[in-house]
Structure 1
Amino acid sequence: MAEGGIEGGQTLLFLTDEQVRKGIEAMFFAYRGFTADPDRILADMAYGRAHHRAIHFIHRNPGTTVNNLLAILGVTKQSLNRVLRTLIAEGLVASKVGRQDKRERHLYLTEEGAALEQRLSDAQRDRMRAAYRAAGPTAVAGFRQVLEAMMDDDMRRQFEAMRDRG
């Protein structure tokens, strides 16, 4: 790799359409790989990726409100309510009425929900660790920078707030 550049010594400030297309395709296939392990676990339970995302972000934000989860996931209320009804009915998520605002519902993973979240996340963490080790620390930092640069401003603010919480 040439100093400050990529394939053929081209600088990062100029990428050909072909280089960008390769990156887009790599992202599509990487996403398929990243979601494959959790998809297999979820398929046995008749759940999909929407259930996984809800479980993930409820785990990351215990007590989050339905409205906050809607903002994080960027889905319709109807879509999220379908997912939450299933997760609550099957004992994976608990919904508690807000203390200050009785209209709010605060969401928590149950013990069973936390165990499922652990299984799903372990599969993805294993894949990410292996990829990070193979790529090396410089690539890991660059990868995160690229991902953050692709986020819209609102998404980046949500991501940074979540990242800062730990």
Structure 2
Amino acid sequence: MAQGMSDNLLFLTDEQLRRAIEAMFFAYRGFTADPDRILSEMDYGRAHHRAIHFIHRSPGTTVNNLLAILGVTKQSLNRVLRTLVEDGLVQSRVGTRDRRERHLYLTDAGEALERKLSDAQRTRMRAAFREAGPAAVTGFREVLEHMMDPELRRYFTAVKEGER
């Protein structure tokens, strides 16, 4: 990108920012549409999806860690986890060092659901990234990371570094 063009991006108008915000709203709607359809067949919602995603990314994560990542109330997360455990998708194990801790793991059925949900999202993202090109992909990731609160960026970095 030419220097003059990149300088212009530092001084976006309110209208340009509004359009970017709207683009995020519509993109998020598309990004969640496929998993929402899958989850609705099971009477699950996005909270279930987020829990499944982060348990998959960090097997053995604690309930407290998941609370911090998701930013939900303990009551709300407990409702979600109770359903996932009862339905055989998540296993909760008592901690070996601290018996008050509960460590969370996906069962084989949970792994299968996670794969189905993430396959749908990866397909959509792969197509969008392919269409936009490598420079746009890098810029998109950078913008997203800079929008994160510092504490959440640390969680993101920790999960990203632990990629499998």
TM-score, normalised with respect to structure 2: 0.96
Give secondary structure in 2 for the equivalent of 1:62. Answer: coil
Cα contact 1:5–1:12 (8 A) shared by 2: no
Question: Given the superposition, is the C-alpha separation of residues 5 and 54 from structure 1 closer, same or farther in structure 2, using an over 3 Å criterion?
Answer: farther
Distance 2:110 2:30 in 1: 23
Paired position in structure 1 for 2:138: 141
For 2:33, the equivalent position in structure 1 comes to: 36
Residue 5 of structure 1 deviates from its aligned partner by 5.5
Give the number of aligned pairs: 163
Higher relative contact order (CA 8 A, sep 6+): 2
Q: Distance in 1 between matches of 2:58 and 2:154?
A: 15
Shift in Å, 1:10: 6.6
1:108 aligns with 2:95: no
Look up the SS of the partner of 2:136 in the other structure: helix
Gaps of 5+ in 2: none
Q: Does 1:53 align with 2:50?
A: yes
CA drift at 1:3:
2.2
Pick one of 82, 91, 96 that aligns with 2:93.
96
Partner of 1:66: 63
Q: What stretches of structure 1 of length at least 5 have no aligned partner?
A: none
Distance 2:7 2:102 in 1: 52
Q: Which among 79, 83, 90 is matched to residue 82 of structure 1? A: 79
After superposition, the CA RMSD in angstroms is 1.2
Instruction: Give the 4+ runs in structure 1 shifted more than 3 A.
Output: none
- The match for 1:131 is 128
Task: Provide the C-alpha distance between the structure 2 equivalents of 1:124 and 1:94, rounded to a whole number of angstroms.
Answer: 24
